[in-house]
Structure 1
Amino acid sequence: MTLVQLEYIIAVDTYRSFVAAAEKCFVTQPTLSMQIQKLEESLGVRVFDRSRQPVVPTEIGVEIIKQARVIITESRKVNEIVQAKKGELEGELRIGVIPTVAPYLLPRVLGSFMEKFPKIQLQIWEHTTEKILHELKVGLLDCGILSTPVHDASLVERPLFYEPFVAYVAAKSKLFDKKEVTSEDILGDKLWLLNEGHCMRGQVLNICQRKRSLEPEGTFEYNTGSVETLKRMVDINSGSTILPELSIVDFDEDQLHRVRYFRSPEPAREVSIVTTHNFLKKMAIDALEKEIVVAVPKRFRSKKKKDVVGFD
């Protein structure tokens, strides 16, 4: 049994294809298949069921691959020990960020982070929460920045800040004349929502959940795909939407005139860095965490006077 063989079975499990795994490992498919076959022969068991497409692990293969991931992770920590001793931060840092956080948080963070740590190669993807969690577990990401809690015991959540939600209302909305709004106020207006698959949709629904069932059908019939589109829908049409507060930082005077804050305790979302328990790149992730905390408004760092909303 070799570390290379373990890396190969992890790759096949991740991509569920011998061809794709070979490409990602920069070897030919016959070479990868031969090494996996040698591992199976040495163990006396089949790791993969090759009769199914896409290929899947056998029952015992699931346990072997799980242990292989632990072994490979631990072996890679040797380099991290050396880096820590030298006080150096270098190498790749693969980050997944949900789309309702990325465009408003990352511009505040990346410039200073890259200036301080020029030897770190950042790779960043905008993904849904579901995809980030999956890619963390299979090792395609080093960390995720997303709204929590995700209620997954296999992952570790490190809260960064608590971002309030605000209402954004059309000039013709009946909420426009209010100085502050409540969840009941929002429930009675035409509400623009993100599509299914976005955790912020669930949070918005939960803000109004208490009386939602008492309202006529159709209150939540409008859906769209991005926070920026939500703003435009309110600007051009009517009704209202709920936005994360970081998204209004660059609003012009007219747009700010349409923002309404919630009555205390204001609804907010918890945003965290999420990793696996046995994660790599600890020094780099710790440094990223510090940059994020410094970049957000100070009042976001506390739960005080906030009602943290889940999305399940």
Structure 2
Amino acid sequence: MTLSELKYIIAVAKEKHFRKASETCFVSQPTLSVAVKKLEEELGVTLFERRKQDVIVTPVGKKIISLAEEIIERTQDIKTIAQESHGDLSTQLKIGAIYTVAPYLLPQFIPEFSKQFPSVPLMIEENYTHVLADKLQSGDLDIAILSLPFQEPNIETMPLYREPFKVVVPNSHPLAEKEGKIAIHQIKNETVLLLGAGHCFRDQVVETYPNLMHMNYQSDRLQKTFEGSSLETIRYMVASGAGISIFPCTSLSERDENLFQIRELAHKDQASRVVALAWRKTFPRTQVLEVFRKIIKNISLPCTTPIE
């Protein structure tokens, strides 16, 4: 059994196709097929059911491939530890962030990180929380920036900062003329524009204000048919007068003051979220986590409260 053979079976399981797997491994298909067959004979099990168009991973194959992924990951960790012991910090970092954090944090974080560690390449990905979770588990990501609660096996988290939610109201709306904070009961009959399913911020808003969402769905308002794919879309929908929305405060800036009115929620209705780092317990570059925490702490993020 060799590391190459383990990489081959992982590729076949991922691609569900021998030819595609050989291409990702940069070997010929016969070479990969022979190696996989040799490993199956050595282990005395069938890892894949071969079909004309694709392959199916057998139950025992799933268990073995899961261990193979862990072994390959740990061998890379060995190389990383060895490199960093010699002062080599040039190993690439694969970072993920949820859609409602990435555009507002990363443009400040990346330049500062690159200034301090110019030899460390960063690979950045925006995605949904559940996708980032899967990629953390598989090793496709090293670190994710997301919001709590986030509970996954083999994953650690580090809270970074807390940010409140705010209400955004069209300039033409009657509430825009009123001073002070807005209570949830004041917007119970309004069209509330939300992010679509899959966005954790949407889930947090719905969970925090269930009565508001329930009343909104009982009406015949736009919320029934419109759910934005991004905060940017919703931003301009609100500006057009299509409805109101609830935003995380870091997503709002001075440019929005001409688009709509930004209001705080009344104290009893005020909600917030905690943004955190997440990583595998086996992630070897623990000093990087502290670097991330310090840089983010020193970034000027409006209306947030750092968590020590």
TM-score class, shorter-chain normalisation, is: 0.7 to 0.9
Question: Paired residue for 1:89?
Answer: 89
Question: Paired residue for 1:137?
Answer: 137
Question: Paired residue for 2:305?
Answer: 300
Q: Distance in 2 between the 1:233 and 1:19 partners? A: 47
Q: Structure 1: any 5+ residue segments left out of the alignment?
A: 304-312
Any conservation in 1 of the 2:81–2:285 contact (CA below 8 Å)? no
Q: 1:270 aligns with which of 254, 274, 280?
A: 274
SS at match of 2:279: strand
Q: Distance in 1 between the 2:183 and 2:208 partners? A: 9
Question: Paired residue for 2:150?
Answer: 150
Question: Paired residue for 1:179?
Answer: 180
Question: Paired residue for 1:14?
Answer: 14
Question: Paired residue for 2:73?
Answer: 73
Determine if the alignment matches structure 1 residue 193 to structure 2 residue 194: yes
1:280 Cα offset (Å): 4.6
Any conservation in 1 of the 2:162–2:305 contact (CA below 8 Å)? yes
Any conservation in 2 of the 1:128–1:197 contact (CA below 8 Å)? yes
Given the superposition, is the C-alpha separation of residues 30 and 175 from structure 1 closer, same or farther in structure 2, using an over 3 Å criterion? farther
Given the superposition, is the C-alpha separation of residues 204 and 66 from structure 1 closer, same or farther in structure 2, using an over 3 Å criterion? same
Determine if the alignment matches structure 1 residue 261 to structure 2 residue 264: yes
1:175 Cα offset (Å): 2.8
Q: Distance in 2 between the 1:111 and 1:120 partners? A: 12
TM-score by length of 2: 0.87
Q: Distance in 2 between the 1:50 and 1:290 partners? A: 51
Any conservation in 1 of the 2:133–2:152 contact (CA below 8 Å)? no
Q: In structure 1, give the amino acid aligned to 2:200.
A: C
Q: Distance in 1 between the 2:280 and 2:164 partners? A: 27
Q: Structure 2: any 5+ residue segments left out of the alignment?
A: none
Determine if the alignment matches structure 1 residue 119 to structure 2 residue 119: yes
Given the superposition, is the C-alpha separation of residues 186 and 21 from structure 1 closer, same or farther in structure 2, using an over 3 Å criterion? farther
Q: Distance in 2 between the 1:24 and 1:16 partners? A: 12
Q: Distance in 2 between the 1:171 and 1:183 partners? A: 19
- Equivalenced residues, count: 302
Q: Distance in 2 between the 1:289 and 1:14 partners? A: 33
Q: In structure 1, give the amino acid aligned to 2:237.
A: M
Given the superposition, is the C-alpha separation of residues 174 and 205 from structure 1 closer, same or farther in structure 2, using an over 3 Å criterion? farther
1:254 Cα offset (Å): 2.5
1:152 Cα offset (Å): 2.3
Q: Distance in 1 between the 2:229 and 2:274 partners? A: 21
Q: Distance in 2 between the 1:14 and 1:282 partners? A: 29
Given the superposition, is the C-alpha separation of residues 227 and 206 from structure 1 closer, same or farther in structure 2, using an over 3 Å criterion? same
TM-score by length of 1: 0.86
Tell me the alpha carbon deviations over residues 271-305 of structure 1, each in whole angstroms, 9 at most, x when there is no partner: 222223323544434423332232254842249xx
Q: Distance in 1 between the 2:157 and 2:204 partners? A: 18
Any conservation in 2 of the 1:13–1:57 contact (CA below 8 Å)? yes
**Bigger shift: 5-14 or 109-118?**
5-14
Any conservation in 2 of the 1:142–1:281 contact (CA below 8 Å)? no
Any conservation in 1 of the 2:193–2:228 contact (CA below 8 Å)? yes
1:217 Cα offset (Å): 3.0
1:172 Cα offset (Å): 2.8
**Bigger shift: 183-192 or 124-133?**
183-192
Any conservation in 2 of the 1:73–1:279 contact (CA below 8 Å)? no
Identity of aligned residues (%): 34
SS at match of 2:156: strand
Q: 1:239 aligns with which of 227, 243, 255?
A: 243
